[in-house]
């Protein structure tokens, strides 16, 4: 997982990388429940604490990931995937939408 995150960060502008890197945490496994189907459960990796409202960055190939958006925002206190607008095709798109590119 660390290697995948590293590769994704290489695709980001240096200012985005510099702003985001301090928020990285050791990747930890978290099971997410797909509330848009039969409540299937998928393993995911939580790898950054975004520092606001209990929001974390996660990666999952199931759920929204199976639909092409494996990089997402999840709540630490919740086991659901959440809405599709919180999931992205790339880590860069997640970071830009979250505001990391606003001062780059």
Per-domain residue ranges of the chain: 2-98
Interhelix angle 91-98/2-10, nearest 10 degrees: 70
pLDDT digits (tens, 9 = 90+) for 11-22: 999 999 999 999
Q: Is 9 exposed, middle or buried (0-12, 13-18, 19+ CB in 10 A)?
A: middle
Span 24-53, pLDDT tens digits: 999 999 999 999 999 999 999 999 999 888
pLDDT tens digits, one per residue of 74-83 = 999 999 999 9
Token representation of residue 78 = 């919740």
SS3 86: helix
Sign of CA dihedral 34, 62, 40, 44: negative
Whole-angstrom Cα distance, residue 54 to residue 52? 6
């Amino acid at each position: 997982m660390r290697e995948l995150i590293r590769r994704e960060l290489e695709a980001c502008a240096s200012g985005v990388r510099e702003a985001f890197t301090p928020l990285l945490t050791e990747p930890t496994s978290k099971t997410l429940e797909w509330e848009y189907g039969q409540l299937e459960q998928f393993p995911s990796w939580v790898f950054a604490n975004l520092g606001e409202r209990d929001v974390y960055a996660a990666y999952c190939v199931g759920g929204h990931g199976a639909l092409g958006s494996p990089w997402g925002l999840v709540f630490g206190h919740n086991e659901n995937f959440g809405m599709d607008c919180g999931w992205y095709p790339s880590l860069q798109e997640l970071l830009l939408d979250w505001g990391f590119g606003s001062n780059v």
